[in-house]
Amino acid sequence: MEIGTPLVGNSKKILLLGSGELGKEMVIEAQRMGVETVAVDRYDMAPAMQVAHRKYVVDMLNGNAIRAIIRRESPDAVIAEIEAIDTDALVDLEDQGFRIIPNANAVRTCMNRVSLRRLAAEKVGVPTTMYSFASTPEEARKACKEVGFPCLLKPEMSSSGHGHVLVRSEGEVEKAFYESVSHARGKGRTVIVEEYVKVDTELTVLTYRHMGGASVETVTLEPIEHQRPSYYYVESWQPSSVDEEVKTRAREYAVRVVNELGGLGIFGVEIIVSGNRVLFSEVSPRPHDTGLVTLASQDISEFQIHVRAALGLPIPQVRVLTPASSHVILAEHEVWAPSFLNVDKALSIPGVQVRLFGKPSSYEKRRMGVVIANGTTVDEAREKARKASSLILMK
């Protein structure tokens, strides 16, 4: 652990379990409001650790370590920033009176695709793709036949597209099953077999729950549209270009799912638009990577919303101030202590901001930074962000 100097006289403290780029923005927003911050992750020099008051490096699946740190720090709010956490420890801590954001059960449910799909499709009743579950190659083969080819296999627990495998025929099922489970986080060996649909576009409906006076209010923001050329986020923009009827349906599904999950804070609800179908896909119980665009587009970013909700601070109506777009900077290979070229050229484009995350190492397709741009139109903002990101090279 590295000890820093806490803020004198400060009465609020947040602790992040997971210290990636999303956590880094939350720490920055918290410190602007005079909140003490503690960052925890499995590796040293994670992005949020570089700006937090204190840090801990531990195995995030070690429940005893998580319990010991939280009891020692006694924060006002514990924010789950990643999926791979010992959720049993979070449940125990919540039972002991610690505020887990959004809540321990929501974190547990959202990190498990099986539990989440059952909640959304079977309990809440929002539309989803056809799906089935499988824990062996034989079960996967049967599930693929039921769902139909082509179909997708996804690990029970993963994120950012890890372990998503497209299966076109019965002969590919066994190899695809083992490839998918090899990317699972934790010990999960179950996959979800999902209908493959033609994706026209995807939306993230940022939906937050906060104390609006005497009761909890649920609010949706202007949907964010995004593209995933593969299974990972590359580009997002706000406002979206879909028609109002699609937005209304997407927001309705988001509210229904988020209210069932409960708790406080912002959720990133992922929606697929395929023809006239609007389908719930997944939800993150925290700020969403596609929501990095809100650093430029909104008067209150998703990160500040999450911190405010976690600490019971007011959140007035959030406004979209300008069309904006984000475009990620992806690593092409493994590098330790990477450096970046042409940042000055990217910054010479009006309306462009560059956010390098400060990750100590890279691997292929790892997200190392993001370019955010605003413009008079979404198309202008997207073009600026694409151009700026293409200029930045990593070595």
Count how many domains the chain has: 3
Q: Is residue 121 part of a domain?
A: no
Q: How confident is the model at residue 229 (pLDDT cuts 50, 70, 90)?
A: confident
Q: How confident is the model at residue 231 (pLDDT cuts 50, 70, 90)?
A: low
294-326 pLDDT, tens per residue? Answer: 999 999 999 999 999 999 999 999 999 999 999
Mean pLDDT of 190-219: 94
> Does residue 258 sit in the same domain as residue 357?
yes
380 is in an annotated binding site: no
Mean pLDDT of 147-173: 86
Q: How confident is the model at residue 156 (pLDDT cuts 50, 70, 90)?
A: confident
> Does residue 95 sit in the same domain as residue 141?
no
**What CATH number is given to the structural domain containing 281?**
3.30.470.20
Q: Is residue 74 part of a domain?
A: yes
Q: Which of 24-28, 177-181, 186-190, 332-336 has the largest mean confidence? A: 24-28
**Alpha-helix residue ranges (DSSP H) falling in the chain:** 21-32, 63-73, 87-95, 104-110, 113-117, 137-147, 173-182, 244-261, 294-297, 302-311, 343-347, 378-391
**What CATH number is given to the structural domain containing 42?**
3.40.50.20
> Does residue 186 sit in the same domain as residue 208?
no
The yes-or-no verdict on residue 113 having pLDDT over 80 is: yes
**Is 108 one of the annotated active-site residues of the chain?**
no
16-25 pLDDT, tens per residue? Answer: 999 999 999 9
Res 39: pLDDT: 98
Res 83: pLDDT: 83
Domain limits for position 173: 130-195
**Is 74 one of the annotated active-site residues of the chain?**
no
Give CA–CA dist 218/93, Å, rounded: 25
CB 258 within 8 A of CB 280: no
pTM of the model: 0.92
Res 3: pLDDT: 35
Give CA–CA dist 270/287, Å, rounded: 12
Q: How confident is the model at residue 185 (pLDDT cuts 50, 70, 90)?
A: low
> Does residue 323 sit in the same domain as residue 384?
yes
198 is in an annotated binding site: no
Last residue of a domain, one of 140, 165, 195: 195
**Is 270 one of the annotated active-site residues of the chain?**
yes
Reported in sequence order, the residue ranges of 287-366 that DSSP labels E, i.e. its strands, are 324-330, 335-336, 340-341, 352-356, 361-362
**Is 289 one of the annotated active-site residues of the chain?**
yes
282 is in an annotated binding site: yes
Give the active site residue among 25, 41, 235, 270.
Answer: 270
**Is 367 one of the annotated active-site residues of the chain?**
yes
Tokens representing residue 219 in the block:
């609010």
DSSP string, 151-178: EEEEESS--TTTT-EEE-SGGGHHHHHH
Mean pLDDT of 151-173: 85
**What CATH number is given to the structural domain containing 142?**
3.30.1490.20
Res 187: pLDDT: 61
> Does residue 251 sit in the same domain as residue 372?
yes
Q: Is residue 106 part of a domain?
A: no
> Does residue 155 sit in the same domain as residue 89?
no
118 is in an annotated binding site: no
Instruction: Give which of 270, 276, 394 is closest to 336, Cα–Cα.
Output: 394
Res 9: pLDDT: 43
Q: Which of 193-202, 207-216, 255-264 has the largest mean confidence? A: 255-264
Q: Is residue 7 part of a domain?
A: no
**Is 159 one of the annotated active-site residues of the chain?**
yes
Mean pLDDT of 150-173: 85
> Does residue 138 sit in the same domain as residue 206?
no
The yes-or-no verdict on residue 6 having pLDDT over 60 is: no
CB 189 within 8 A of CB 209: no
> Does residue 152 sit in the same domain as residue 262?
no
Give CA–CA dist 359/43, Å, rounded: 10
* Percentages of the chain per state (helix, strand, coil), in multiples of 5: 35, 30, 35
Q: Is residue 237 part of a domain?
A: yes
Distance between first and last Cα of the chain: 30
> Does residue 305 sit in the same domain as residue 345?
yes
Distances (CA, A) of 332 to 235, 276, 368: 17, 36, 10
